[in-house]
Amino acid sequence: MTHDPAAPPSAEVSDVNQRFYDQLWADSRLVRPERFNTWGLVSGLARSHDRRLEVGPGMRPRLPIENTHFVDISPPALDTLAAEGGITHTAPVSELPHADDSFGLVSALDIIEHVEDDEAALAEISRVAEPGAQVLLSTPLHPEYWTPFDDIVGHYRRYEPDHLMDLLDHHGLEVEQSAIFGMKPRSSRLNDLGMWFLERHRPVAMKVYNRFLMPLGLRLQKPLKLHSGMVATDGVEEVFLVCRRR
């Protein structure tokens, strides 16, 4: 099982995604990729791959911005990335506007859980990655960890780890390394408070997140600790994957 039975209908989730992220990015400042714990890995990979694609970066890109291709559905995010030297395209992940085998490095963090047809999304990500390309993914795990936050941010699903591995294998993506991921606060009370504000006072909550909580999260994030293959997933809410396209 990959989808929580309490999640809203497909059309509603799609609308939630569009509204939520347009509003979030319109009131956000760009966070440069160097500020994330993925940079140590990404900067090394980027030096080896000048043909790069990031899908759904919003205002939080992880790949170097200049000369990287970015695909998103949010105009505020794409306008900002273009101004910084990115090559931008408006499209959903299930219809990437690139030829087969176009890129040596592809990043799609926190994407596949937001689309109804994750099979189509992964098929497209794999299609545009050249054979041997490295593909960076992240996604939430364990349907039993579903909370109102998943509804608010427009998740269709959380993945059972075994199903996720089978899905990646089906699309020619082999997991080489992985890490525990995410910037969610450990405090359940803080999470509950944040969700309460998002449900009842969303504009205020987004401003507080963008101006205070996001900078704090960047300061408190731990180094990315990569493991060979798939990390042990018991109790893990989100995983970061370094894959290679066969």
Q: From start to end of the chain, where are the E strands?
A: 52-55, 69-72, 87-90, 103-109, 129-140, 173-180, 227-228, 238-245
Characterise 85 by phi-psi region: left (phi > 0), alpha (psi -120 to 50), beta (else). Answer: left
Is 144 a domain residue? Answer: yes
Is 55 a domain residue? Answer: yes
Structure tokens at 169: 């294998």
**Whole-model pTM over 0.85:** yes
Is 190 a domain residue? Answer: no
Span 69-94, pLDDT tens digits: 999 999 989 999 999 999 999 999 99
Span 3-40, pLDDT tens digits: 444 444 566 677 767 776 777 677 788 999 999 999 99
Q: Which range of residues forms the domain containing residue 98?
A: 10-184+222-245
Is 217 a domain residue? Answer: no
Is 206 a domain residue? Answer: no
Q: How many domains does the chain have?
A: 1
List the CATH number of the domain containing 75.
3.40.50.150
Is 113 a domain residue? Answer: yes
What is d(CA 189, CA 74) in angstroms, rounded to the nearest whole number? 31
